[in-house]
């Protein structure tokens, strides 16, 4: 190699003051010339060199946003909110595949048995289960990140609830399209799903993010067993017009109670949502 970067250009390069096209020539040359790289190290202040390595390490170690997170960022969502939203456990591939597999098997059973009862009983529980899996140190692997996020517990709860409901309702809706023969009756899961999710969230303020959904889900199954036993071959009460109206009213009431108790998600027993139980 007959040409090397001049001493003055090396010093300007080290200070970040070398302008194009000399900068481009120096960049290209330094990648292939060990002698000039050694000379560059000799004219660079140690503190500047250390700072450069630290910036490089930080850049290499910085997490790369996924496709969904990049979409949220382009839509104007703040970076910490986008990270918390995309880190919601129920948005992981394993959970989505499990939900879709369960729905597919349920739809197949319904088509064989020619009764939508199993699907209508299961579909409202999936959003509720998703909410239960999205919060708390024992259930959420990103709990520590949620604790230090600049968000109130109630806002974090709402952000992830939107993700849970959107995902759950879309999956249930796709399964409903596979049951066209039942018409609007195949949509009888929607209002109970909203009622169960809202009730589970409202009770979580006092009972915690695991116990409350478990009690609500158990109550739903017990109600269906009793209603089915009393239906005597007719449509169970939860899926009649009266039952749907009751579910809508319960969803509205639970939403009001949830908003009224929003401060409890930052303190007391519901503190797992925002780190209130941590030392």
Structure tokens at 226: 């009793």
Residue 275 within a domain? no
For 89-127, what is each residue's pLDDT tens digit?
Answer: 555 665 666 677 778 878 787 777 677 888 888 888 888
Indicate whether 53 and 128 sit together in one domain.
no
Indicate whether 55 and 85 sit together in one domain.
no
CA–centroid distance for 231 within its chain: 39
Residue 254 within a domain? yes
Looking at 18, 34, 61, the residue that finishes a domain is: 61
Q: What is the mean pLDDT of residues 134-140?
A: 58
Q: What pLDDT score does 63 carry? A: 63
* DSSP annotation of 64: P
Which domain, by its residues, includes 51? 7-61
Indicate whether 121 and 174 sit together in one domain.
yes
Q: What percent of the chain has pLDDT over 70?
A: 72
For 154-207, what is each residue's pLDDT tens digit?
Answer: 777 777 777 777 777 888 888 888 887 777 788 888 899 999 999 998 888 788
Q: Alpha carbon of 16 to those of 7, 12, 24, 181, 216: distances in Å?
A: 14, 6, 12, 70, 63
pLDDT tier at 212, thresholds 50, 70, 90: confident
Indicate whether 108 and 193 sit together in one domain.
yes
Report whether the peptide linkage leading into residue 162 is cis, meaning its omega lies within 30 degrees of zero. no
Total domains, the chain: 2
d(CA 146, CA 267): 15
Q: What pLDDT score does 242 carry? A: 92
Residue 67 within a domain? no
Residue 188 within a domain? yes
Residue 273 within a domain? no
Is residue 87 predicted with pLDDT exceeding 90? no
Residue 161 within a domain? yes
Out of 159-163, 225-229, 237-241, least confident range: 159-163
Q: What pLDDT score does 110 carry? A: 77
Indicate whether 102 and 183 sit together in one domain.
yes
Q: What pLDDT score does 274 carry? A: 42
Indicate whether 109 and 243 sit together in one domain.
yes
| Distance, first Cα to last Cα, the chain | 63
Indicate whether 212 and 101 sit together in one domain.
yes
Indicate whether 157 and 211 sit together in one domain.
yes
d(CA 219, CA 91): 26
Indicate whether 85 and 220 sit together in one domain.
yes
Is residue 272 predicted with pLDDT exceeding 60? no
Indicate whether 30 and 161 sit together in one domain.
no
Q: What is the mean pLDDT of residues 220-240?
A: 88
Q: What pLDDT score does 199 carry? A: 93
Indicate whether 39 and 89 sit together in one domain.
no
pLDDT tier at 275, thresholds 50, 70, 90: very low
Q: What is the mean pLDDT of residues 6-22?
A: 83
Residue 250 within a domain? yes
pLDDT, the chain, mean? 76
Structure tokens at 48: 């500047």
Q: What pLDDT score does 28 carry? A: 87
Q: What pLDDT score does 226 carry? A: 92
Q: Alpha carbon of 130 to those of 26, 111, 236: distances in Å?
A: 55, 26, 25
Residue 68 within a domain? no
Indicate whether 131 and 166 sit together in one domain.
yes
Q: pTM of whole model > 0.75?
A: no
Is residue 144 predicted with pLDDT exceeding 70? no
Residue of 126, 116, 124, 122 whose CA lies nearest to 90: 126
């Amino acid at each position: 190699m007959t040409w090397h970067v001049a001493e003055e250009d090396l010093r300007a390069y080290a200070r970040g003051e070398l302008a194009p096209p000399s900068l481009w020539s120096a960049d290209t040359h330094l990648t292939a010339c060990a002698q000039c790289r050694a000379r560059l190290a000799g004219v660079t202040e140690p503190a500047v060199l250390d700072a450069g390595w630290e910036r490089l390490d930080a850049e290499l170690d910085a997490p790369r946003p996924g496709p969904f997170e990049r979409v949220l960022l382009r839509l104007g969502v703040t970076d910490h909110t986008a990270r918390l939203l995309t880190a919601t456990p129920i948005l992981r591939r394993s959970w989505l595949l499990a939900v879709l597999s369960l729905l597919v098997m349920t739809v197949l059973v319904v088509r064989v048995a020619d009764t939508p009862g199993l699907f209508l009983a299961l579909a409202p529980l999936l959003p509720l289960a998703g909410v239960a899996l999205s919060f708390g140190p024992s259930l959420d692997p990103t709990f520590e990140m949620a604790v230090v996020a600049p968000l109130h517990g109630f806002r974090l709860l709402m952000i992830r609830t939107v993700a849970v409901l959107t995902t759950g309702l879309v999956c249930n809706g796709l399964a409903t399209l596979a049951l066209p023969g039942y018409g609007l009756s195949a949509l009888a899961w929607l209002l109970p799903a909203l009622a169960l999710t809202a009730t589970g969230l409202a009770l979580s303020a006092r009972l915690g993010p695991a116990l409350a959904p478990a009690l609500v889900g158990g109550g739903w199954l017990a109600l269906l067993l009793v209603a089915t036993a009393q239906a005597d071959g007719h449509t169970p009460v939860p899926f009649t017009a009266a039952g749907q109206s009751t579910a809508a009213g319960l969803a509205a009431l639970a939403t009001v109670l949830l908003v009224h108790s929003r401060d409890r998600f930052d303190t007391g027993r519901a503190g797992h949502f925002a780190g209130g139980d941590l030392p």
